[in-house]
Amino acid sequence: MSRSPGRKQENNKISRELFVLTYGALVAQLCKDYEKDEDVNTCLDRMGYGIGIRLIDDFLARSGIKKCRSYSETADMIAQVAFKMYLGVTPSVSCSNAAGNEFSLILDKNPLVDFVDELPAERASLCYCNLLCGVIRGALEMVHLAAEVTFLQDRLKGDAVTEIGITFLRKPEDRKHKR
């Protein structure tokens, strides 16, 4: 028996659409469970963090990447390999400061919002995709990189792009082990 070459791509599209719809249902349920957007945002971040600390093993095994030597290399790896591998998009990366520890991931297309037009007016402070921040933070923590990850801009809130900010919390020289 042989499989048609387009079958795997079709399955990936179905899986992606199912994931996006399931994620939307999850956010909708959290909005019903919590009155405050901040509580929903915290819950999404916490869930993402749990996913990130488990996902890093799969990422390292499947990607075959070597150890990153700088924060900029780490940010590039998140954008070019991890986002592509798990979400099928490649955000652009820009460094936000001279110290080289703040980066922005700019998404032209955010697959998690494929079926969302806009946020309801009463949910203006909701970070719909806050799960992504938690995933990134959890994964980075598992490779001993403390980081603060937040949404800086969001198309669902009327911004021109979706931008995720990553601030590494230690200086590069703090990461070196003393022997």
Structural domain contains residue 76:
yes
| Domain range enclosing 111 | 16-168
Structural domain contains residue 175:
no
What is residue 1's predicted lDDT score, i.e. its pLDDT?
47
What is residue 8's predicted lDDT score, i.e. its pLDDT?
55
Structural domain contains residue 8:
no
Taking phi first (over 0 means left), then psi (-120 to 50 degrees means alpha), and beta for anything else, what does residue 91 get? beta
Model confidence pLDDT, tens digit, residues 53-66: 999 999 999 999 98
CATH number of the CATH domain containing 39: 3.30.1380.20
What is residue 178's predicted lDDT score, i.e. its pLDDT?
47
Closest CA to 106 of 169, 44, 165: 165
User: What are the residue ranges in the chain where pLDDT is below 50?
Assistant: 1, 175, 178-179
Structural domain contains residue 179:
no
Q: Which two tokens stand for residue 145?
A: 């990189």
Structural domain contains residue 6:
no
The domain tally of the chain equals 1
Rounded Cα distance between 168 and 177, Å, is 17
What is residue 179's predicted lDDT score, i.e. its pLDDT?
43
Residue 37: count of CB within 10 angstroms of its CB: 19
Structural domain contains residue 77:
yes
Structural domain contains residue 145:
yes
Structural domain contains residue 4:
no
Rounded Cα distance between 62 and 37, Å, is 35
